[in-house]
Structure formats: structure tokens, C-alpha cells
């Protein structure tokens, strides 16, 4: 992303705050087409009154949303999904132009966002006319059975500030907003500037449809400016991005001193493990190779859940290396406007330089198992577009470097690491310091069970892919709204989604003590859904 003033012919992305579209002033940031390097939009938040934006959302939208039942809010989510689905082709076009997405890449982002909205619309409809949560029936506190306590969750009386990464401008917006809005908490979303165009047009679509109380959904396109300074107790920050930025947000003086609730989902060194039983020619072996290649190349490897470390038995390491390299050789890289292209560019030239630097560091410690050099590009100029070759690295047995457990290269890059026994595989996987997801490919139930128990402590999600679910599992990198998304350690220590579980982040849990008659009156507007709904 460049920061400069560009030609007036390039459209400006306004921000939607306090129920109005407003333009920032001063120096602008430029969004580009990563296939060509051409400017496609510009934006700035300079001069915007973000304190006013937050106050408007708190004072106007918050009470209106809290007055609605879960079912009523769910109905709005369903209408939002329907409105977005009608313009799906427009969203695909923006994703191609501004994010360099192939149609398959765009589907993960756009269709995933619409599907998430529909999921929470259905879940919310099942919560009926309740307005608050309860996590268990009332319990007696003393000998007097009339003195009881119940734990409830009431919607936070603030604003949910959602700060999203550049790789999922649609899904990042709606996977957070759907849970927040269903909870009754207004949203101010801040997409990554590099790809803000798609999120901005989606918000514009919903604002024009007037589906939400004014101020329920705001967007700022550009820098956060002094946004954190205006936050207070009751507000929350839900962040997706780098671990360094997440730490900076946590350490912000206003955020720390005012008790602002924070959820961080950061990039991580996700792992996949091939079981000791999975020899060449087996179903588990073939599935493993396919999954690695897909995770390396979908969205040019720019996914927080993408596979970065590939663990294989020593006996199979060379044949796996050659099989993955052969599949990568078939990947056509270029302008996603060409239907034959299977992998587009990175988001911009600065990211291309960052990835190149990361590859150079890993190459100093590893062999290169596959990398096309020079890279052949379809329908684009390699010097103007942000293209890189899929790169498979191989860590020689006996090399005790920890770099592949420390350095994440956010692109189509992964390192293959041979292991001797399962204990070694599980131990090295944990050395990533906490990850969003690990996957295991094996037909051995014992290996799978031991892998699950070993990996769950350092990974937010573990996919156990045995041959019986080969045609039905959704894959290593796909995040489902019914399952928790997040991970410990460097992955941020946060949790998003997870069905009903995700609502609690936007509620204040409190224990109410009183007579059974009073508590029964309160819980008439509360809901504790059965586990099947979570």
C-alpha cells in the first residue's frame, strides 16, 4: 500500500460514521490492483470525529439494538445476507481487482461471509424473544430455598471496534459483525486499508437498505487516528492481524487504563502432520499432499490458517517432498482475470518484498524443494505485479535451527520438516508457540487420538482427517461459524465464533442474587439454549 495523493479520477472511499458518509482530509492512502500496480481507490480518515462516531453508536444504536429480541436481530442478519447475495458478482469483481483473488479465492471470502451471516441468523432465530443470556438455572444459596442466584449475560453498553486484516475484507467484516449485532452491540469496523474497497461497498449496500438502526454499523477507511483514545469501559476491540500489532493494541494506555475488552486473533505457524502409517499411494498420503498444495496456494497463501510447517515421517520425507513439488509445478500464477490462473498476486508490492525477505531467511537454513525461478506470469508483468512463486522448503534432518518455528512468511511458503517418531512430531509442532490450527492425516485411530491430546494444548483447532471423512471434511484452513476460531500464545489467545459461545464476548456476565420470584421474572427474557444450538 502506498501513501500519497493520487489523481482525482481514482475514486475516494468515504467513511460511514454517526449515520452519515464523511470524507477525511489531508494525505491519502492508495489502494492498488496487485496484478498491475495501478491505483484503484484512495481514502483518508484525517479530520474525522471518531469520538462523535462512537458516542452516536453508543447512544443511538445501542439502545435500539438492545430493545430488540434475539429473533428480531437474527431476522436482520438474514436480510443482510440476502442483500449481499444479490450483489455477489460485484463483490467478486472488487476482490479480483483490489485483492488479486481468483474466483475460488473470492468464494472463500465472500461466500464464507454470507454463509456466516446465515448461520447466525438461524442460530439467533432459535433464541426466540429473549434479550439476555443465562448459563444455568438458578441455584439455592442458603438453607432458605427462596434465596437464590443466577448467572446472566447482558449486552455490553458500548461499541464493538472490529479491526480486520487485509486478506479477508468480506469475511473479516461479517464474521465479527454478525455475532456482535446478534448480541445487541453496535459495530465500528476498520478494514485493512489495502483492501478496504470491498468492505466499504458492502457497508454502503446495507446502509442504503436501511436494515439496521442508524449507527449500528459504521466503517472507517484509513488510519485509526485517535480512535483508541475515545474508548471506554463497555467497548470492545476485536482484532485480526499480526501479533506485533495485537500487542501494540493491548499496550495502548487508554485501552489498558479503561478496561476495554480485547480479543486478538493473530497469524501463526500452523502445522500439518502425516501419520506414520500413511505411505505413498495410501489415501491419507494423497489427501495430505492435496491439502498442503491447496493451503499454500489459495489466496496466495495469505491466510491466517494456512499451513506453514509440514511434518512427515523421515521414511516418507523425500517422496512427500517430490509429490508436493510436482503438484506445485502445475499451478499457474498470474492475473486472476484469466480463468486458467490458479494463484494470483500478493496484496501489494511491499508485501511481496516482505515475503521475499522471509524466503531468503528460511533459505539460509533450508534446502529449496520447489520454487520457480524465473517465475512465469500469465497475462501480467512480473515487475509491476506483486507476484511470488509458491515456495516449498526442506529442513534437513539434524538441522537444529528453530527458524521455521519462529518466522512466519505470509505468502505461498511452507517448510517440510522430517520427524523420527510421533513424540518428536508433536513436540516440534508445539514449538510454534501457539497456533490457530493443526491437521493430522492418518488411518490409524491410535495415532489420531494421541495427536489430538498432544496438539490441543497449543492449537485452537485440530482437524483429524482419516479416510472416512475425506469427501466431507472442510479442510485445514476453513473456519466454520459453529466452531471456535482462535488459538493460544502467538496466535493471540482469543476466541471468535463458536456458535452460541461467541455471543458471550459481547455480553457482561453477572450473578444476580435474590428471591426466586424476582429471579424468575428476570429470566423470563433470558435464554440458555441447548448444546445442540451451540
DSSP line for 83-120: HHHTTHHHHHHHHHHHH---HHHHHHHHHHHHHHHHHH
Measured at the alpha carbon of residue 516, what is the angle toward residues 513 and 521, in degrees to the nearest 5?
Answer: 95
Helix/strand/coil percent split, the chain, to 5: 40, 20, 40
CB-count burial class (<10 Å; 0-12, 13-18, 19+) for 47: exposed
Q: How far apart are CA 103 and CA 337, in angstroms?
A: 9
Cβ neighbors of 363 (< 8 A, separation 6 or more) are 393
Give the CA radius of gyration of the chain. 24
Across the chain, how many H-helices and E-strands are there? 15, 25
- Active-site pick, 304, 327, 408, 496: 304
Q: Is 366 a catalytic residue?
A: no
What are the angstrom distances between the C-alpha of 80 and each of 16, 181, 233? Answer: 17, 11, 29
Which grid cell sits at 57? 453508536
Task: Give the CA-trace dihedral at 130, 135, 138, 142, to 10 degrees.
Answer: -150
The answer to whether the CB of 336 falls within 8 A of the CB of 300 is: no
Cell numbers found for residue 185 = 452491540
Axis-axis angle for helices 445-455, 422-430 (nearest 10): 30
Which are the contacts of 447, defined by CB distance < 8 A and separation ≥ 6? Answer: 275, 276, 277, 422, 440
Query: What letters, b where the CB count within 10 A reaches 16 and e where it falls short, cover 414-425?
Result: bbbbbbeebeeb
Active site residue 304: yes
Kindly give, in sequence order, each residue whose CB lies less than 8 Å from that of residue 318, ignoring residues fewer than 6 positions away.
none
- 13 to 23, 95, 189, 212: CA distances (angstroms): 8, 15, 14, 21
| Catalytic member of 28, 43, 175, 265 | 265
Q: Report d(CA 108, CA 117) in Å as an integer.
A: 14
- d(Cα 315, Cα 312) in Å, to the nearest integer? 8
DSSP symbol at 27 = S
Angle, vertex CA 184, rays to CA 181 and CA 185, nearest 5: 75
Chain mean position to CA 505: 16
Q: Is 245 exposed, middle or buried (0-12, 13-18, 19+ CB in 10 A)?
A: middle
Torsion of the alpha carbons at 226, 230, 113 and 378, rounded to the nearest 10: 0
- Name the residues annotated as catalytic: 265, 304
Amino acid at each position: 500500500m502506498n501513501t500519497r495523493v493520487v489523481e482525482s479520477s481514482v475514486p475516494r472511499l468515504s467513511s460511514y460514521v454517526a449515520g452519515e458518509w464523511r470524507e477525511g482530509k489531508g494525505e491519502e492512502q492508495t489502494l492498488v490492483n496487485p496484478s498491475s500496480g495501478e491505483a484503484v481507490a484512495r481514502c483518508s480518515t484525517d479530520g474525522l470525529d471518531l469520538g462523535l462516531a462512537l458516542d452516536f453508536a453508543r447512544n443511538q444504536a445501542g439502545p435500539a439494538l438492545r430493545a430488540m429480541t434475539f429473533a428480531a436481530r437474527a431476522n436482520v442478519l438474514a436480510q443482510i445476507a440476502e442483500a449481499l447475495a444479490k450483489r455477489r458478482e460485484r463483490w467478486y469483481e472488487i476482490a479480483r481487482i483490489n485483492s488479486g483473488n481468483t474466483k475460488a479465492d473470492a468464494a472463500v471470502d465472500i461466500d464464507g461471509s454470507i454463509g456466516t451471516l446465515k448461520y447466525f441468523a438461524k442460530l439467533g432465530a432459535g433464541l426466540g424473544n429473549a434479550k439476555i443470556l443465562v448459563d444455568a438455572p438458578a441455584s439455592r444459596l442458603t438453607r432458605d430455598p427462596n434465596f437464590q442466584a443466577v448467572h446472566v449475560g447482558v449486552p455490553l453498553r458500548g461499541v464493538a471496534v472490529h479491526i480486520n486484516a487485509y486478506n479477508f475484507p468480506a469475511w473479516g467484516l461479517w464474521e465479527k459483525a454478525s455475532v456482535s449485532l446478534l448480541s445487541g452491540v453496535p459495530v465500528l469496523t476498520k478494514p485493512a486499508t489495502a483492501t478496504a474497497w470491498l468492505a466499504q461497498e458492502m457497508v454502503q449496500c446495507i446502509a442504503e437498505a436501511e436494515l439496521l438502526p442508524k449507527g449500528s454499523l459504521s466503517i472507517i477507511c484509513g488510519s485509526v487516528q485517535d480512535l483508541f483514545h475515545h474508548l471506554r469501559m463497555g467497548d470492545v476491540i476485536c482484532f485480526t492481524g499480526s501479533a506485533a500489532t495485537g500487542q501494540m493494541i493491548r499496550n495502548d494506555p487508554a485501552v489498558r487504563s479503561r478496561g476495554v475488552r480485547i480479543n486478538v486473533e493473530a497469524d501463526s505457524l500452523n502445522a500439518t502432520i502425516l501419520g506414520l502409517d500413511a505411505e505413498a499411494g495410501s489415501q491419507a498420503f494423497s489427501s495430505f499432499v492435496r491439502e498442503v498444495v491447496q493451503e499454500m496456494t489459495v489466496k496466495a497463501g495469505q491466510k491466517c490458517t494456512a499451513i506453514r510447517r509440514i511434518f512427515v515421517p523421515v521414511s516418507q520425507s523425500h517422496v512427500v517432498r517430490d509429490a508436493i513439488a510436482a503438484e506445485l509445478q502445475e499451478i499457474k500464477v498470474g492475473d486472476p482475470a484469466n480463468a486458467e490462473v490458479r494463484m494470483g498476486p500478493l496484496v501489494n508490492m511491499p508485501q511481496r518484498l516482505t515475503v521475499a525477505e522471509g524466503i531468503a531467511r528460511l533459505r539460509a537454513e533450508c534446502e529449496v524443494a520447489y520454487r520457480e525461478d524465473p517465475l512465469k506470469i500469465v497475462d501480467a508483468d512480473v515487475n509491476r505485479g506483486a507476484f511470488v512463486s509458491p515456495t516449498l522448503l526442506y529442513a534437513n534432518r539434524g538441522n537444529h535451527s528453530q527458524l521455521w518455528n519462529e518466522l512466519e512468511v505470509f505468502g505461498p511458503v511452507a517448510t517440510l520438516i522430517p520427524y523420527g517418531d510421533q513424540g518428536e512430531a508433536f513436540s516440534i509442532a508445539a514449538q510454534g508457540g501457539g497456533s490457530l490450527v493443526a491437521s493430522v492425516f492418518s488411518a490409524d485411530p491410535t495415532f489420531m487420538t494421541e495427536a489430538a491430546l498432544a496438539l490441543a494444548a497449543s492449537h485452537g483447532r485440530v482437524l483429524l482427517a482419516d479416510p472416512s471423512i475425506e469427501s466431507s471434511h472442510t479442510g485445514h484452513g476453513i473456519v466454520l461459524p459453529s466452531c471456535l476460531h482462535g488459538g493460544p500464545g502467538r496466535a493471540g489467545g482469543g476466541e471468535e465464533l463458536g456458535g452460541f459461545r461467541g455471543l458471550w464476548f459481547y455480553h457482561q456476565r453477572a450473578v444476580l442474587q435474590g428471591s426466586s420470584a424476582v429471579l424468575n421474572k428476570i429470566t423470563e427474557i433470558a435464554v440458555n439454549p441447548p448444546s445442540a444450538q451451540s
